[in-house]
Amino acid sequence: MRAYHSPTIFAVLLTVGVSGVDAPRDQALPVAAPAPSFVAPPPRFADPDRSRKLAAAFPEIDRLMQAYAEREHIPGATWGIVIDGQLAHQASVGLRNVATKQPVEADTVFRIASMTKSFTAVAILTLRDAGKLSLDDPAERYVPELRGLTYPTADAPRLTIRHLLSHSTGFPEDNPWGDQQLAVSDAEFTAMLKHGIAFSNAPGIAYEYSNYGFAILGRIVTRASGMPYNDYIARHILQPLGMTATTLEPREVPALKLAHGYRWEDEQWKEEPQLPDGAFGSMGGMLTSMRDLSRYVAMYLDAWPPRDGGPSTPLSRASLREMQQVSRPRPSVVTRDASGATQLNSGGYGYGLGITQTCQLGHIVAHTGGLPGFGSLMRWLPEHGVGIIAFGNRTYSGWGAVGDQAIALLANTGALQPRVVQPSPALIDAKTRVSRLVNAWDDRDADALAAVNLFLDRSKDRRSAEFERLRAEVGTCRAADEFVHVENALRGEWRLACDRGELQAAITLAPTIPPTVQYMEVRAVPAGGLPARRTCQ
């Protein structure tokens, strides 16, 4: 199953939101207790007009995608761009069925291959959260056929569910082999397991993509839940999200909705057979539409930022965020983006999802899918509220390169910006008090503000003298209303405009109640300004 391997991380973007649920009118809402001073409002987008500005890139993105499909001999494709919970744009091109010349439409259903793996991971975590299993349980507890495995070394750990979720089983990468296993029966799968599995590494030491591992997870879902994998996915994920067009069995898709898969060979499209669902379906068997998968992507995007309240989803926001963070690192890679600029990509694999960190975009979550006849992509930027879905019906059609160009077009609008972190009341108060000390040092105010370490790290006399030298250099100062940079609820920087120059102040608060200042630095801004803030965090 071709999947998220490319160091190229840019993609055509798509975001979706999850609608809220109103409280019953006759039900009294609880009175909220006052928030502690360290609790900040959730991050928010600074530009209320960002959706309209991003939409300016849609026509050119469509031209890019259509040209890519033609150049790569993809019979039919569809892609969507959704911003802040709304499907802002969807476009399609080409044929879902070459023989009958029927076009791809908005509700055409494509096979999404390895993007299925995240559904399996959601199922596992719902069972974990329900107390049915632990991620550190040995896999053989649920799949007893694994008890007879021969491990590569005597000191190798027994396989756990966490190993399987994060591609750290030590099984060899198995894309060419795994692509043809979807239709394996349960009895055949049991025989395979009893026969043994070859290891390329000991478990738990390296990332290596394993379709076999996710097939085993499907069986764990069945054993831990007491119902077939397909039924569990439908009842606990698809139905709650309203994904009515999604299935693991091609025969269940209406004939007029199904995208046929093709390979380009001998200067013509040759149809690939649709493998029926089988024991390996949990690693790559899902079929879905753009509308349905946008709801699924919305579930992940809705997990960010952490906050109070909100609608219920099949999996808690905390567990969804857990899925979207690195569990098994991969080596960092240096690439060139669409503009030719060099960038460092680091990250790894979460649970059923690939995770990348770049200087330009920060946190990126993604997975691709590829089978004979199909290629697909979903990718989103949690802090930007923007992501991608793209489907094509040609074998292993990839979308990464054209996605580089698409995201560059979105960025060129100036509206592809992350949410802005908000300061806590305690940080705002400390900013005011430190600014007051800059103009007029007072030992009592300083003592009330300082954490126990502050004047042990640098004495009160030295800090007072430093502030006095700054006053002599720049004169009386006025603190700006806003922070220049807020890294989190308890750390921020701001500027003070002074009679003869400018100061930059930075503080970090301690983990105490109330939060006090554990780090404080104030310095003059040179004539040429301070160095630009690094884009990598």
Task: Report pLDDT for 420.
Answer: 96
Angle (deg, nearest 10), helices 58-71 and 400-412:
160
In whole angstroms, what is the distance from residue 470 CA to residue 456 CA? 21
For residue 533, name the pLDDT band (cuts at 50, 70, 90). low
**Mean pLDDT confidence for 345-364:** 91
Q: Phi/psi class of residue 93: alpha, beta or left (left: φ > 0; alpha: ψ in -120 to 50)?
A: beta
% pLDDT > 70, the chain: 91
Peptide bond into 305 cis (omega under 30): yes
For residue 408, name the pLDDT band (cuts at 50, 70, 90). confident
pLDDT of residue 220 exceeding 70, the answer is yes
In whole angstroms, what is the distance from residue 270 CA to residue 27 CA? 60
**Beta-ladder partners of 92:** 78
pLDDT of residue 201 exceeding 90, the answer is yes
Task: Report pLDDT for 137.
Answer: 98
Task: Report pLDDT for 422.
Answer: 96
**Mean pLDDT confidence for 437-456:** 96
- State phi, psi for 328 to the nearest 5 degrees: -125, 110
pLDDT of residue 10 exceeding 50, the answer is no
In whole angstroms, what is the distance from residue 457 CA to residue 517 CA? 12
Residue with tokens 């077939």: 228
Alpha carbon separation from 159 to 15, 139, 214 (Å, rounded): 35, 6, 13
The answer regarding whether domain 50-114+246-412 maps to CATH 3.30.565.10 reads: no
Task: Report pLDDT for 310.
Answer: 81
pLDDT of residue 234 exceeding 90, the answer is yes
- Reference 204, options 213, 216, 195; nearest CA is 213
For residue 9, name the pLDDT band (cuts at 50, 70, 90). very low
**How many Cα atoms are found within 13 Å in the side-chain-facing hemisphere of 505?**
29
Task: Report pLDDT for 341.
Answer: 72
In whole angstroms, what is the distance from residue 303 CA to residue 321 CA? 6
For residue 35, name the pLDDT band (cuts at 50, 70, 90). low
| 124-225 CATH fold | Methane Monooxygenase Hydroxylase; Chain G, domain 1 (1.20.58)
Task: Report pLDDT for 50.
Answer: 95
For residue 409, name the pLDDT band (cuts at 50, 70, 90). confident
Task: Report pLDDT for 360.
Answer: 83
Task: Report pLDDT for 339.
Answer: 66
In whole angstroms, what is the distance from residue 532 CA to residue 418 CA? 18
* Residue 498 one-letter amino acid: C
Name the pTM for this structure. 0.90
**Number of Cβ within a 10 Å radius of residue 36:** 12
* Longest Cα separation, the chain: 85
Angle (deg, nearest 10), helices 425-439 and 460-474:
70
For residue 24, name the pLDDT band (cuts at 50, 70, 90). very low
Mean pLDDT, the chain, as a whole number?
A: 90
Question: pLDDT for 165-194, tens place per residue?
Answer: 999 999 999 998 998 899 999 999 999 999
Please give the residue that has the higher pLDDT: either 65 or 15.
Answer: 65
Question: pLDDT for 140-167, tens place per residue?
Answer: 999 999 999 999 999 999 999 999 999 9
Asked whether 476 and 487 are in contact (CB, 8 A), the reply is no
Please give the residue that has the higher pLDDT: either 276 or 19.
Answer: 276
Task: Report pLDDT for 330.
Answer: 87
Question: pLDDT for 90-122, tens place per residue?
Answer: 999 999 999 999 999 999 999 999 999 999 999
**Mean pLDDT confidence for 226-248:** 97
Q: Where, residue-wise, is CATH 1.20.58 in the chain?
A: 124-225
Q: Where, residue-wise, is CATH 3.40.710.10 in the chain?
A: 50-114+246-412
For residue 343, name the pLDDT band (cuts at 50, 70, 90). confident
Question: pLDDT for 310-327, tens place per residue?
Answer: 888 999 999 999 999 999
Question: pLDDT for 256-301, tens place per residue?
Answer: 999 999 999 999 999 999 989 999 999 999 999 999 999 999 899 9
Task: Report pLDDT for 14.
Answer: 35
For residue 509, name the pLDDT band (cuts at 50, 70, 90). very high
